[in-house]
Structure 1
Amino acid sequence: MPAISSGPILNSGTNPSTTLTVLISNEDLAATAIIELEAFLVPLSAAGVPRIPTAHQLFSLAPLAVSTREVGIAGFPAYEVQFNVTGANVVIDVFAHDAGGNLNAAQRVLQSEVSPISAITPVP
């Protein structure tokens, strides 16, 4: 699987999201998957302002295992999630929740909606 990105996602409205829940499923019957997850806060105030890394995780996922990861995104007008995955049968879905724990359906990103990228952004 190539590196993938959610692309920038606007975090606006009357109840902006404060937390991302990332659901990762390794649907391979035999191979362990290696997942690198990066989340960025995206300022919209000025062109050329760099994204701010908020999470960088590297972990393995056994065959037929599922993992969830939480990332805080409170207070930013946009965010982006990137993944580098070693494994062919890995499914990744991202769900955003407001401060009350309610799902912000307009901000969810399913595996079928991510975009391939050449590489994830290096985090300093």
Structure 2
Amino acid sequence: MPTFSSGPILNTGTSPSTVLNIIVSNEDLTGTATIELEVFLVGLSATATPKIPVLHQLFSLPPLAVTTRTAAIAGFPAYETQLNVTGSNVVIDVFASDAAGNMNAAQRVLQAEQSPISAITPVL
């Protein structure tokens, strides 16, 4: 499975998101998956700090298991997820929610909508 990114997702509007939920499902019947997950806060101005890492996790997921990882994204105008997956049948979807717990449909990214990248950004 390739390495992929959501690309920068705008977090603006009347009810910006405060929490990002990443749902990882290993749908393989026998193989354990290894997932490296990164979440970055992204500034929009030319003088903004480059991507700020807020979550970096490396974990295994047994066959037919599901897990949810969360990251706080409140107060930033944009965010990005990057994932590197070793496993043949893993589904990863990204959903953001506002302070009231409502999903921001415009900020959801299904796995099929994520873009392949050559490598995840190193976290220093």
Name the TM-score class by shorter chain: over 0.9
Specify the code of the residue in structure 2 equivalent to 1:29: L
Aligned-pair identity in percent equals 73
- The reply to whether residue 45 of structure 1 matches residue 45 of structure 2 is yes
TM-score, normalised to structure 2, is: 0.97
Report the aligned-residue RMSD. 1.0
Match of 2:57 in 1: 57
Structure 1: gaps (5+ residues): none
The Cα of 1:108 is off from its aligned counterpart by: 0.1
Structure 2: gaps (5+ residues): none
Match of 1:90 in 2: 90
SS across alignment from 1:112: helix
SS across alignment from 2:25: strand
For residues 51-103 of structure 1, what are the alpha-carbon distances to aligned partners after superposition, in whole Å with 9 as ceiling and x for unaligned?
10000011000000000011110000000000000001000000000011000
- The reply to whether residue 36 of structure 1 matches residue 27 of structure 2 is no
Question: Separation in 2 of the partners of 1:23 and 1:12?
Answer: 22
61-70 or 38-47, larger mean C-alpha shift: 38-47
Map 1:1-124; keep pairs closer than 5 Å: 1-46=1-46, 49-124=49-124
The Cα of 1:47 is off from its aligned counterpart by: 5.6
TM-score, normalised to structure 1, is: 0.97
The Cα of 1:49 is off from its aligned counterpart by: 3.6
Specify the code of the residue in structure 2 equivalent to 1:115: S
Question: Separation in 1 of the partners of 2:3 and 2:31?
Answer: 18
The Cα of 1:46 is off from its aligned counterpart by: 1.4
The Cα of 1:48 is off from its aligned counterpart by: 7.1
Specify the code of the residue in structure 1 equivalent to 2:91: V
Question: Separation in 1 of the partners of 2:45 and 2:16?
Answer: 17
